[in-house]
A and B are shown apart, each in its own frame.
Chain A
Amino acid sequence: DIQMTQSPSSLSAFVGDRVTIACRASQNIRNYLSWYQQKPGKAPKLLIYSASSLQSGVPSRFSGSGSGTDFTLTITSLQPEDFATYYCCQYSFGTPWTFGRGTKVEVK
């Protein structure tokens, strides 16, 4: 299976900060990566697919980049509703879908 490593596992930030979360795949997954936001007691919500495509209805302060093995999720100006846990997920053809362990974004 392809392993997905997220960093950091948690971070503290102020409202208005720029936040960057990294995700590294154990092998080349081209751009077959998605990002999800999860709040306590809720299902994950799709933010980004195909590494950099913004899901409809998701604010433009969220963006994704990368290809191959290294990917990044960026929140340009953190809002109060953005405090949550973020997960990356790879979907390279022929392999099981695998998720990162998550990055918890907390208020500083």
Chain B
Amino acid sequence: QAQLLESGPGLVKPSETLSLTCTVSGDSISNYYWSWIRQSPEKGLEWLANIYHSGSTDYNPSLESRVTISVDTSKNQFSLSLSSVTAADTAVYYCARLQTPGYFDYWGQGALVTVSS
């Protein structure tokens, strides 16, 4: 079964770019869509973006101007970048596998990212 693990800095300064990577094991990243979701007390669970191994992407319109998702099939990884962060972007960020027609069947353990100077 698939295992997902998020990695990246736990602290990001305001106005900078948050970058996270999800490493997938036990499954080929080329077989599915993959997603980023975040959770905060203020907004609850919030879907951010999806990517397919071909590079096809979907973004949450509320964040689309700041979010980029990318995939590296050679490393079986996909990544998230969120620019111009503010304290409102402080959250636990999860990567997940997106199963057709649209549910998340495997999740990473989550990575807490705090935006603070």
Number of residues on chain B facing chain A (CB within 8 A): 19
Let me know if B101 is at the binding interface, CB within 8 A.
yes
Q: Determine the distance from Cα of A45 to Cα of B107 in the docked complex, in whole angstroms.
A: 7
When distances are taken between beta carbons in the complex, the residues of chain B under 8 Å from A101 are: 44
Quote the shortest CB–CB distance from A92 to chain B (angstroms).
8
Q: Is the CB of B44 within 8 A of A99?
A: yes
When distances are taken between beta carbons in the complex, the residues of chain B under 8 Å from A100 are: 44
Interface centre among B60, B99, B101, B108 (most CB of A within 10 A): B101
List residues of chain A with CB under 8 Å of any chain B CB.
1, 32, 34, 36, 42-46, 49-50, 55, 87, 89, 91, 93, 96-102
When distances are taken between beta carbons in the complex, the residues of chain B under 8 Å from A91 are: 101-103
Q: Is the CB of B45 within 8 A of A96?
A: no
Let me know if B27 is at the binding interface, CB within 8 A.
no
Q: Determine the distance from Cα of A3 to Cα of B2 in the docked complex, in whole angstroms.
A: 30
- Of the A-B pairs whose beta carbons lie under 8 Å apart in the complex, a sample of 25, sorted by A's number, is A1-B62, A36-B104, A42-B109, A43-B94, A44-B45, A45-B107, A46-B103, A49-B99, A49-B103, A50-B101, A50-B103, A55-B105, A87-B44, A87-B45, A89-B104, A96-B60, A96-B61, A96-B62, A97-B37, A97-B102, A98-B47, A99-B46, A100-B44, A101-B44, A102-B45
